[in-house]
Every structure is written in structure tokens, then in C-alpha cells.
Amino acid sequence: MKRYAIIFIFTLLVSQSAVGQQISIIDSSQHHVSFRGLSVVSNTVLWVSGNKGTVGKSVDGGNHFNWMNPKGFETRDFRSVNAFDGKTAIIMAVDSPGVILKTIDSGVTWKVVYQNNLHGIFLDAMAFKNKLNGVCVGDPIDDHFWLIETNDGGDSWHQVSAKQTVEAKKGEACFASSGTNIQFIDHPDFKYGFVSGGMDARLFLINASATKPAVIRSLPLMKGLATTGANSLAVNGKDFVVVGGDFKNYTRNDSTIIYNSGGGANWNLSVQKPLGYKSCVIWLNNKGLIATGLSGSDITTNTIYDWKHFSDIPFNVVQKAKIGSAIFLAGGNGKIARIVF
């Protein structure tokens, strides 16, 4: 009986659209949880993470999830997850103390690999380049963004060199909305970049050489309020896309998506305005993008042109399989979905 009821609900939740994409809700069993972390290893293996200490893993493309609550962290909000495979994953909790946990046994046990009790510590997001090199960004401490790196797959973390420490403006911080405001960059000069929000919205490019300062670019994105700014950075070679907006007023259209094709200096605003605030953007291929947020999901096959709104269902994060083509979304009320083309 339960099975039939579930199939019936799934059928109702497939939202039809004229442009060829459908969002198919595949799980909402954790309806009391808001998901913001999502890491899709392949078409079959994905991990999600959210508040109330909740982590989930599927090894069959999202048909079934194995739910877990790392012991001792049941009240934490895991806003960023990076999975290497079905057994190994790293999760990051926002707020204080700052903690990063790692499992190598499918989530049976979790080890604290980083803990920071500094007053005001607030980690926002992690990114990994490969199975060894990763970075995590946090809100400013003493007016400087908190940046830590790992070179051993997350087993140990160290702060970036003082030369590369980036000063924040008053009222400028990072949004921990989708775990995607920091990304590695395939560029001879820069190793990774991250974006900020609040009173200003900027892109910080951290030089590959530890003795060189970061390059800072102003972003022509909605800014000036504590709730406005850049939420997500997607990188494809030298092509960068940044999305954001005002999460308190998610219908605001002005400057929510910007595009740059050469190191972050000259930005083009999206021509067709996607409908409102977006918390995450990903590249589908060299010109295709999907962005999602409280305002729903939008897609383009042509960078800043031809954006189409294809779903009103709010989500926080969208991710494509690192190896494979499957695209999943996760958001509030325990919603996890797959995009069906």
C-alpha cells in the first residue's frame, strides 16, 4: 500500500514544462530537513546533507536513500558535502564551532578532521579539485575571510598563507546557501576563487603561488543589503558564471546572473532575466547552464542568452554527476529531485 501511495505522489510531483525539462521529486521522506549540501559522484552515487545533523546517501540513482545522523552532531547544519565515492565523504557544519567530518566507511563512523572554536567562526562551503586537494571558506574573522586547505583528502587542514589572506569590507561575508560559492579554477595563475555578498559582492581569485596576493574583482550583481549578493560560482575553463540575488525577496530580478569569459575582469549581465534569486548554478556543457533557487529553476543552452524558466519548485542546490550526466536538486522540506530531459 505504501509503495502505491508513493508512486502516486511521484506522478503528481513531476512538473511538466514546455521546454523539455521536468523536475521529478525522488525523495521527501526527511520533510523536516532543509538540504543545502549535494555531491553527485556518478549517475548512481549521490550524497546530500542538511540541518538537524542529516546526511543521506544513495547508490542507486536516488531510488533509495540511507539516512544518517553523525553521533554528537544531531543539531548541526551540514551545508556542504564532498563525496569521493560511495564510502568516502566529507561534510562541513556551519556556525560555531566550525567542524568538518569525514567518513571512509559509508557513514557508519565519522571522524572530526577539523574543529575550530574561535568566537564568530562560520564556515560556508568546501570545494575539492581531486581526491587530495580541497579548500573551505568561512566568514571573516578579524575582517579577513577564513580560508583553510587540505592536501590529504580532508584528513588535515591548514590556514592559507598570510600573504593570500583576503580582507573583507564591513558587512561583506559569504553565503552558505548551496556549498558552491568556492570553486577550483583551471588557470595557470589561480588555484581557486570564491564569491561574497552583503554590502558588496566580489570575486576573489587566489593565486597559485602562496606568496602572491589574491586578485579581487567587483561583481555587478545585486548587493547592498545583508541578504543580497553572490551565492554560487560555476567555472568552465576561463568562463565564470555567478548567481545570487536577494534571498529575502526572491522575486527581485535585477542582476541575479552574470557571466565572464576571461579571468573575471569584464562581466556580462544575463540578457533574459531569470525569475529571481538563485542560490546555485552549474555548467552542463560549454554553453549550457542550470540555475536554481527559491524562485525555481532556469536553464540556458547559450550562457547569458536564452534563459528559460522551467520550474517554480524552490530548491537550494543543483549538481551534475562528476562522472556521468545525471542532474539532481535538493532543497527545503526534504526535497530531492532529478531532472529528466
Ligand X SMILES: *[C@@H]1O[C@H](CO)[C@@H](O)[C@H](O)[C@H]1NC(C)=O
CB of 71 to ligand X, least distance (A): 41
Question: Which residue number has the CB closest to ligand X?
Answer: 209
* CB nearer ligand X, residue 96 or residue 268: 268
CB of 24 to ligand X, least distance (A): 26
CB of 106 to ligand X, least distance (A): 40
Confirm if 209 and 198 have CB atoms less than 8 A apart: no
* Residue type for position 341: F
CB of 105 to ligand X, least distance (A): 40
Contacts 24+ apart (CB under 8 A), 213-219: 213/163, 213/164, 214/164, 214/166, 215/189, 215/190, 215/264, 216/166, 217/264, 217/265, 219/195, 219/258, 219/267
Q: What DSSP element (H or E) covers 5?
A: helix 2-13
* Residue type for position 116: N
* CB nearer ligand X, residue 303 or residue 316: 303
Q: What is the binding site for ligand X (CB under 6 A)?
A: 189, 207, 209, 212, 215, 249, 251-253, 268, 273, 275, 303-304
CB of 190 to ligand X, least distance (A): 7
Q: Phi-psi bin for 263: left (phi > 0), alpha (psi -120 to 50), beta?
A: left
Please, which residues have CB within 8 angstroms of residue 270's CB and are 6 or more apart in sequence? Answer: 256, 257, 258, 259, 304, 307
* CB nearer ligand X, residue 240 or residue 328: 240
* CB nearer ligand X, residue 199 or residue 215: 215
* CB nearer ligand X, residue 57 or residue 223: 223
